[in-house]
Amino acid sequence: MVPWFAPADMHTWRMRLIAPRTIVLLFTLALVVITEFRLDWIERLVGDYLLTTNAYRPRSGAIWEKGREADSARQALAQHADQRAHMQREMRRAVSLGQVVAGIVDDKGAMISAEHFVELYLKLPPVLANEIASPYTLLSHLSSGRWQRTFFERQDEQLQVFMLDAGNQVTHRLRLSPDLLAHIERGEVAIRTGLDQLSDFADHIYSANRFFTALDDLPEATRRRIVAHPQDLLRAQGRIERVGISNRMLGDAVDLGFEVIGFDGPRVILMQGVSDDVRRIQRTLEEGGTPGWPWSGGSRP
C-alpha cells in the first residue's frame, strides 16, 4: 500500500507518481474533465437538481428581482395595450364629437379617421361647428387627399386636434378652448332637472308658447340661427313647457334650454343659437311684443 505521508526523497516521489492508484486517480480526473467539456453532464445534473428544488428555495436575489421587474413591465404593457385598444374601439363607435372629447384621457390621445371627424363635425350645431373650424377649411384639406387621420390630445386644458396624412405628418392643427370643449361635451343633450335648478337660465325663463310664437314670426334663416335642429325638439318625449336663455356667451353662441315635462319628470334639452339673433328675440320676449321684420334681415317667407 502506498503511504500518504510526505515522501522523504525524489525516488519515493517518482514511485508514488507511477503507482497504480495514482494512475487510476489521474485517469479518472481526466475522464471527468473530458466528458464534461463534451457532454456538459455536470451542468445538466446541477440544473436538474436546482429544478427539482426550485419550489422550495426563497425567491430572492438579483435574478429574481429582475424577473419580477420584467413580469411587471410585461403586465403593464399588456394592460396599456388593452386599454388603448378598448379606447380606440370606443372612439370608432363614437356618434358625437362630445363623446370623443369625453373619452380622451389626459395622458393619452385618441385617433379617428378624417371621414369620421367630418361626420361628427356635421352633427354639431352650426355655431359650435364654425367655432372649431370653417367648413371651407375642412373641404380644402379633405379634397387635397392628404388628410387621412385625426388625432386628439389634451394640452393645458385645451384640446389640440391634429390633421395627419398617411405618414402621420401634421397637415393642419386646430385648438379648442376649455369653454368650447365644455359646450361640445355637453352638446344638445337632455339634463334630468328643471330650468329653475340651472343657474345659467334662472334669470331668463319664458313660456314655450310665447317663445315659439315669437320664433314662428321670424324668417326661416333667422329661425335656423336660433334653433338649429327643431326636429330634435319634435322627437322629445313629453311637452315643452318653458324655454330658458343663458346669461353666458361662447363667442357667437348662446345656450338655450327647453324644459320638457314627461312621465319621468322634467328634463332640459340644451341647444346653442347665434347670440345676436337669440338676444333680439329675448328682448322681444321681455318687452312683450313681436319680433317684426326690420331686425331679422329679411322678409318672412
C-alpha–C-alpha distance, residues 133 and 79, integer Å:
36
Percentage of the chain beyond pLDDT 90 is: 18
Radius of gyration of the chain (CA): 40
| Torsion (CA) 7, 9, 10, 13 in degrees, nearest 10 | -10
Distances (CA, A) of 204 to 26, 125, 214: 108, 22, 15
Cβ-based neighbour number of residue 259 at 10 Å: 24
Residue bearing the bigger pLDDT, 289 or 40: 40
Asked if residue 73 lies in contact with residue 79, where contact means CB atoms within 8 angstroms, the answer is no
Type of residue at 123: K
Looking at the DSSP bridge assignments, the partners of residue 256 are: 245, 271
pLDDT tens track for 40-83: 777 777 777 777 776 666 666 666 677 666 667 666 555 554 55
Helix (H, G, I), strand (E, B) or coil at 272: strand
Task: Give the global pTM.
Answer: 0.49
pLDDT digits (tens, 9 = 90+) for 160-176: 899 999 888 999 999 98
What is the spatial distance between Cα 282 and Cα 300, in angstroms, rounded to a whole number? 19
pLDDT top residue among 33 and 65: 33
pLDDT band at 233 (very low <50, low <70, confident <90, very high): confident
pLDDT (tens digit, 9 = 90+) per residue, 243-283?
999 887 777 788 899 999 988 888 888 888 888 999 999 99
Q: Of the candidates 96, 92, 94, which has an alpha carbon nearest to the alpha carbon of residue 189?
A: 96
